[in-house]
């Protein structure tokens, strides 16, 4: 990671921690779908896994022992804190919108497609079984869209849909990522951009990890 990006993310994390500390724990538990943990913390499900978050400090650790120990990717930590700070409590509607339809999303759609959708299409365009297994691992539920699609609960109140069209003789594979219509009520457009990228990466990471295990 470039030094300027390291500083940008460190600054963003510190700002997210300060905003998180300002919000009451009881209000976050009421609105976010998280569960209480001890006297000063909560447990939140993000990307198919559970994380402990301490209040007011904002320290985040996975609830289960993983191969990376207690390390959590910095953009994941920022997203978790942003969600807990900004979530408004509205439940998902099941109505899907594209990234273009999110406020100012159209300005960043080309980059979002390049960074989040295209890698998924390249990785799973001829591998529907692996796509299904990877999405199910993140808590996905099947949807009747495309050749194969899943609604993945990125957070308890925020779902994303991942839709795969398989490659054939005429057309290359493609993937679309949709957001529940309430998404912008819980996170900013910038955070939703990062969220889509991070969940896409987790889908690919699951496949890469399992392929590596098969080799070993």
Q: Element (H or E) spanning 150, and its range?
A: strand 148-155
Closest among 148, 143, 188 to 165, alpha carbons compared: 148
Report domain 96-215's class.
Answer: alpha beta
Tens-place pLDDT, residues 178-197: 999 999 999 999 999 999 99
* CA separation for the pair 156, 154 (Å, rounded): 7
CA–CA gap between residue 165 and residue 54 (Å, rounded):
41
* Whether residue 175 has a cis bond before it, omega within 30° of 0: no
Q: How far apart are the first and last CA of the chain?
A: 28
State both tokens at 104. 């100012």
Tell me: the pLDDT tens digits for 63-109? 985 544 458 999 999 999 999 999 999 999 999 999 999 999 999 99
What is the tens place of the pLDDT at every residue in 11-49?
A: 999 999 999 999 999 999 999 999 999 999 999 999 999
Domain locations in the chain as residue ranges: 3-86, 96-215
Strand order through the sheet with 60-62: 35-37, 41-46, 49-54, 60-62
pTM of the complete model: 0.92
**Strand pairing partners for 61?**
52
């Amino acid at each position: 990671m470039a030094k300027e990006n390291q500083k940008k993310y460190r600054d963003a994390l510190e700002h997210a921690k300060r905003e998180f500390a300002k919000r009451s724990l009881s209000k976050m538990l009421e609105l976010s779908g998280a569960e209480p943990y001890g006297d000063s913390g909560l447990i939140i499900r993000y990307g198919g896994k559970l994380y402990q978050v301490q209040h007011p400090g904002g320290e985040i650790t996975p609830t289960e022992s993983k191969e990376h120990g207690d390390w959590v990717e910095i953009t994941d930590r920022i997203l978790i804190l942003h969600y807990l700070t900004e979530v408004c409590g509205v439940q998902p509607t099941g109505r899907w919108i594209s990234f273009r339809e999110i406020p100012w999303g159209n300005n960043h759609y080309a980059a979002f497609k390049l960074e989040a959708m295209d890698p998924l299409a390249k990785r799973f365009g001829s591998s529907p079984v692996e796509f299904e297994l990877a999405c199910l691992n993140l808590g996905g539920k099947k949807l009747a869209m495309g050749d194969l699609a899943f609604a993945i609960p990125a957070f308890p109140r925020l779902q994303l849909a991942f839709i795969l069209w398989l490659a054939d003789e005429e057309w290359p594979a493609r993937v679309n990522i949709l957001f529940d219509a309430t998404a912008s009520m819980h996170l900013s457009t910038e955070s939703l951009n990062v969220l889509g990228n991070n969940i896409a990466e987790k889908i690919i990471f699951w496949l890469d990890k399992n392929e590596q295990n098969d080799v070993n």
